[in-house]
Chains A and B, each alone.
Chain A
């Protein structure tokens, strides 16, 4: 069945370091792909999305490119800040029902 696999955390970085969080997926058909972020004590917020192959989603300095050939949607940011500390979830949509399948989440900790 459809699934999402993302790298285990925590990912610990110093401020201004480069961030990559890996995400790969298995899906029938052509899913849309998402990154959601969860700040401490809050619900999830959409960070970015891509709906077809080679699309690049971007927001707040984060980017991810939909790579159909490698079934990947890795999240990157050139220079992280302490305020980026959160849990990041990769997800894909299933069919036309708006249902989402989530990865297990990756905790990012950024230190000054």
Chain B
């Protein structure tokens, strides 16, 4: 199906483990984004990418790694998960012209 998808939708992991959250879009949008959503903070940008092989830090990048080898995929890796990374993670994409971002359904991550 066309659109933007995230996997897994729910994940429980332990402190210190590596976790990768996947994001895939079928529109060939140039821009992709990762946000985390926490109570009292709204959405905060973690990383974004303007095109394949181009990534840049957002507001809260520490502890996260991204890559973008293909336009349609933008995985987010927590190298060594911490409890403070318990959150809901949203991926989004845009075509870079209309500035409308389209969001995935989110991944709810719990770090024990």
Which secondary structure characterizes the binding site on chain A? strand
With A97-B48, A104-B40 known as contacts, the answer to whether A49 contacts B105 (CB < 8 A) is no
B45 and A100 form a contact (CB under 8 A) = yes
Asked if B74 CB lies within 8 Å of chain A CBs, one says no
List the A residue with the shortest CB-CB distance to B58.
A99
| A68: min CB distance to chain B, Å | 18
How many angstroms between the C-alpha atoms of A54 and B78 in the bound complex?
43
Contact partners of A99 in chain B: CB under 8 A: 33, 45, 48, 58
A46 and B41 contact, CB distance less than 8 A: no
CA distance in complex: A45, B104 (Å): 9
Once the chains bind, are B43 and A43 in contact (CB under 8 Å)?
A: no
What does the 1/0 interface line of A69-106 toward B look like (CB < 8 Å)?
A: 00000000000000000000100010001111111110
What chain A residues lie within 8 Å of B50 (beta carbons)? 97
Given A98-B31, A104-B40, is A43 in contact with B101 using a C-beta cutoff of 8 Å?
Answer: no
The one of B44, B48, B103 that contacts A43, using a Cβ cutoff of 8 Å: B103
Give Cα A32–Cα B97 distance, bound, in whole angstroms: 12
Alpha-carbon distance between A49 and B41 when the two chains are bound, in angstroms:
22
Q: A44 on the interface (CB 8 Å rule)?
A: yes
B11 to chain A, nearest CB (A): 16
Q: Quick check: is B12 within 8 A (CB to CB) of the other chain?
A: no
Which residues 25-73 of B sit at the A interface, judged by CB distance below 8 A? 31, 33, 35, 40-45, 48, 50, 58
Does B99 contact A98, Cβ atoms closer than 8 Å?
yes
Given the complex of chains A and B, what is the CA–CA distance between A49 and B94 in angstroms? 14
A-B contact pairs, 12 of them (CB 8 A): A42-B105, A43-B90, A43-B104, A44-B92, A93-B99, A97-B31, A97-B50, A99-B48, A99-B58, A100-B43, A102-B43, A105-B42
**A interface list, Cβ under 8 A from B:** 32, 34, 36, 42-46, 49, 51, 89, 93, 97-105
A45-B103, A99-B45 known; 13 new pairs, CB 8 Å cut-off, are: A34-B100, A43-B103, A43-B105, A44-B92, A46-B102, A93-B99, A97-B31, A98-B96, A98-B101, A99-B48, A100-B43, A100-B45, A101-B45
